[in-house]
Structure 1
Amino acid sequence: MMKKKASVAPGLVKKGDRKDWKPDTVEIIDEREALRYIFKCDQWLGMKKGRSLFIDLPAIRDGKQTLNYKSYQVDVKTSDITGAGTDSNVYLCLFGQYGDSGDLWLEKSETHSDPFERNHVDKFTMQLVDLGEIGKCRLWTDNKGIGAAWNCEYVEVSCKVKDLRKVWRFDSGAWFSSSKDDKQISRFIECSSVKVLDSKGNAVEQEQAAELEALSLDSVKSAQPGDIVYTVKITTADEKNAGTNNTVWLILVGQKTHSRPFLMQSEAEVKYFSRGQVDTF
């Protein structure tokens, strides 16, 4: 059961010719408990008009979100070696204790107009559903453009809680290239270190770090046993080209567990996810 804290993750599989989709709302009805959850999206999904193939949406009950968004700062350091910079598009996915961030396109650097050049640190700020402790990330490029090869020194992800900032570091030092070293353009990187900083950037004592843990982690309760029937209603935005013929899937996220991905389809002849349409599953 989703209960007080819940989210859903609608997403696309890039198979159709209309590769972007703009869902307006997702409604989940718990038939057993007679509970109704609303998930407001109103964002493009897809890599042309949107920044990701899926998004994590917090539930809204009684006009309030049941999960919190946090502002995360992502710093990406390109190595200081010959040929380290790239013109490829760079993407990131963060994996935390409460789920993952989805595929994030690191498109517009806050520090450089031409990102991912040699010895540059590119900063990105993102509003994401609280990930909790971040254990690993996936970093990759599309290996396109002149000088597609890229060497990343590290990625640092940080978020602020009150007057303290927690920083997760992911050391890389590897080539993202189809022609160099092991010819990999995608890598999973484990968290190398975690530190807590004060407002001046100084490392804090262990007791203060423990206090931050207590502030940043939500209390978690065990999931309730038993099968629950949910009715899912998905509304596509009523605007030009908002519909899609891609495969759409959905994951329900509860307080401690999440569902398997559900494909949002049934009868083959039904045309789902058209502009302004409400589809029920």
Structure 2
Amino acid sequence: MYDNTYYDDYYEGGYENERTNGYDYDGRSGYGYDREEEYPAQHLNDDVRLTWAGPISTSLYGKHIQELSRKTESNLDRLRSTMSCSDLYKPSQKNSKLNLNSMFSVNNSGPYSISSASIDDTSSISSTGFNFCYLCSTLEEHQKNHLHNHPKKAKKPGKPRIEYIAPIPHVKRKPREPLKASHEALYKVVVYVGDVPGASSDANVFVSIIGSRDELPKQRLCRGKKTTKFCFVRGAIEKFYVKGPKLGNLRVLTIEHDGFEKRHGLYLDKIEVTDMTNDLTWVFVCKKWLSLHHGDYCIRRDLEAVQKEQVVKEYEITAVTGNKRLAGTDARVFLTLQGTQKTSQKIHLNRGKSGKDHFNKGGTDKFLISLRDIGEIKSIRVEHDGKGFADGWLLDKIMIKNTADPKETYYFLYGGWIATDEGDGSLWRDIKAKRKLDKILLKGRNISYQVTVRTGEVKYAGTDANVFIQFVGPKGSTKQLKLDDSRNNFENGMVETFEVTGIDVGDLDHIVIGHDNTGMGAGWFLDYVIVKKYFTKPQIKEKIEKLRSGKEDGRQDEGQDVDKYVAMGRRRSSMSRKNSRKSFDEDDDEDRKDRRRNRSRSKLDAEEIFDRDGNVVKVPFYEEYYFDHNQWLATNEGDGLTQREVKPSRKQIYYSEKVDL
């Protein structure tokens, strides 16, 4: 550590001496200079000297400073000859301070001068280990020497420092995907529960299958989530779908459940497993209990497979093309049958022959196909590929008949276009099946029908074509009855009422309404139709008698009613079993709803007609049917149909005061 004595002496005494000797302090340079003496500008860069404060031009300062600079250089040369560089910066162990006062003495000729005696005595300097940091030429060199010679002070002991250990970086690792089971095939498992007392079970039932190629691991038979409870009902037929590998020919099926109580007992009749990829079925016959309280007290059984013979049916398909301009098609036509058990593959009807040989205008084409049994046919899908010169096709109807049983005949009535430039542009249509055609009644009692028609309020909703309506009931159907009067009918938003006469067809099942597609703007947007069917006197008497008999049957003794309902409860399981074997399609649901509505309507009718004493107060006057439509009847709108079957959305009987019958 260098001594500050030199600096203190200089600023305390030397600076005052300079001011007394005619030197002044300049704030810009920090040193004094003689104002009277001027130095030529050429000496500003020539007389640059290296001092302890850095490079200084001596020509800018006084004469004494110049002499001091010359003496400093001569003294440095003398020191270099007698001392090494390491000795200059080697600190002394005894005394590390430099006595600047002993080395410098004040002369009259200048502020400071280095005495020759002190400089000559180099041995004393080296022995005492003076620090010659004042001889450093730059500030960086001074700081460097200071750090080398004087180590850092030891820090005061403080609180122990806790070493920070960085946490291990969290790296997201992609989880290993579990080995997926091979799901190359789909199997339909049909379980037949026996019709014996106590056959129902709510235990968890499991199956596993062994085939010629692979095995299906144990899987629970349930629907929806695996956690939901499933109950096997007595006499029911339950269907399940299971995914698994390709098993080949099935050999053994193992069935078991986890129930140990008596109520968990399951009486199994048989199981049918169908491979959905090749449509092969195997039957596993059991006819035993899976219970610890019945039979041989087993809850696990291994059943051997017996391959079920496939029933092949031959159908005759008859397609009738409409009799209008460009009604035929050159496209390839396909047909898909949808049955109660399964759906057939897509069948190419005009395969192997040109389109000109089939589906010509007004023509009838017949095809023979062989299919595995798909159950009762419910609907078909007709489509074509839209290729050829004239791809649009006007389909009138299709009939499918079982050649082995002619009574099994299905009718599919359409009477519309299947084309890209007609209707909604779709090249396919789904048509529901009818088991018999409605017979047009030519003889019978004529009754009056009142028809109210409303045309929709859309653009171009009106029509100039001839509109007709046809009533269909259990007895048959009427002819097409024309709706027309002296007014300009069927304009946009109009509500019109027509009185027509036709043969009584019984309760209306549906109506057929449409037009002949003639005239400019033949398309018609029909909103709804309301039909009032007036009762004749014989019909009124018949209806009153039916309601009276039903009312009298309802006055049975309470004990008989109890016995009746107990018997119904006993037969409920068998009835539910029979119903479960039927396919729950839309038609069956509608039939059940209709039966419930008919029962409730009959009860209301009885309340309207009879008083509490059973006397006739009112008689039925007419029955009103409401038909929602809200669709186009046009070749270039909607589905391209110009006529359509419409079922009633609701119906209601209106009564009048009693009259003599």
Query: Larger relative contact order (C-alpha < 8 A, sep ≥ 6)?
Result: 1
Q: Normalising by structure 2, what TM-score?
A: 0.23
Say which one has the larger Rg.
2
Larger fraction in strand: 1
Q: Normalising by structure 1, what TM-score?
A: 0.49
